[in-house]
Amino acid sequence: MKTVSLEAMCKKAFENGYAVGQFNINNLEWTKAVLQTAQEMNSPVILGVSEGAGKYMTGFKTVATMVDSMIESLNITVPVALHLDHGTYEGTFKAIEAGFSSVMFDGSKYPIDENIAKTQEFVALTKKLGLSMEAEVGAIGGEEDGVLGMGELADPDECQRIAGLGVTILAAGIGNIHGVYPANWQGLNFKVLADIKKKVDNKPLVLHGGTGIPDEMVKKAIALGVAKINVNTECQLVFAAAVRKYIEAGKDREGKGYDPRKLLAPGVEAIKQTVREKMILFGSVDKA
């Protein structure tokens, strides 16, 4: 089996009240850890690749080839989507060309009319190719005033316009923040989420910045129409902490503890544990 569009998995999640996790990958170990855990949990999974991570792995084509080969060599039978995360206009074309099964075109930095025009282009192209597509609506207010604790909020009317273009899934700010949440974070804005849900009809929504949102808020967001949750920073933090512990304990100096297969193993195990916990929280276990 090869990678698939995320449309069917997210539609099923949306209709049945759970969410599919997007776990960003950075290298071979990361990819293997996420795929093996998805198989073990019998859960659908979305592998997220940012343009930076794609470049780091020597290009989207390398990533797409690696993922396809790994699905085969590890006997992965659960649905796997290979998804470009926060694609630029040029980068989105490149990921499609390289064989990604899904893309996010992030036009949130453009004025709304330009975001719509560019998003429309990708809707047409991805539909023709049988790929899924995520779009993002820009933020309103708040963030430019240095009110970091607020996170970004999308305009429900703009969400309606973008959703109406026929995108597969829609990312919209509801107070979520990428990376580690600041101590003064105000939490997710469920009023805005409910308003957006009303406006976008039956379109599944994406929650970015899934690291550090309290479990209860995650569950409430899923109940209000979030069918895809992005997790990136959390895997990086637990990976780094586990490898640090190994080295600080001097284990790389014992026997052949310097072997990268040994040195990185605790980090890989930590990623697996985080992915397991997220799949349980999101409700995607046994939903493959």
- Quote the distance between the C-alpha of residue 55 and its chain's center: 18
Q: Which residues contact 112 (CB under 8 A, 6 or more apart)?
A: 137, 138, 158, 161
* In the complex, minimum distance from the CB of residue 231 to Zn ion, in angstroms, rounded to a whole number: 10
Please report how close the Cβ of residue 278 comes to Zn ion at its closest, in angstroms: 15
Q: Which is nearer to Zn ion, 210 or 225 (CB)?
A: 210
Which residue in the shown chain puts its C-beta closest to Zn ion? 208
Q: Which residue numbers are catalytic?
A: 85
Q: Is 153 left (phi over 0), alpha (psi -120 to 50) or beta?
A: beta
- At 86, is the secondary structure helix, strand, or coil? strand
Based on CB atoms, which residue is closest to Zn ion, 208 or 287? 208
Q: In terms of CB distance, is 199 or 208 closer to Zn ion?
A: 208
Q: In angstroms, give the least distance from the CB of 75 to Zn ion.
A: 31
- Tell which positions 199-228 bind Zn ion, by CB under 5 A: 208
The three-point CA angle 83-85-89 to 5° equals 105
- Cα–Cα dist 167/134, whole Å: 6
Closer CB to Zn ion, 50 or 101, in the complex: 50
Does residue 195 contact residue 174 with C-beta atoms inside 8 Å? no
Nearest distance from residue 181's CB to Zn ion, in Å? 14
Q: How many positions of this chain bind Zn ion (CB under 5 A)?
A: 1
Which residues of the chain form contacts with Zn ion (CB under 5 A)? Answer: 208
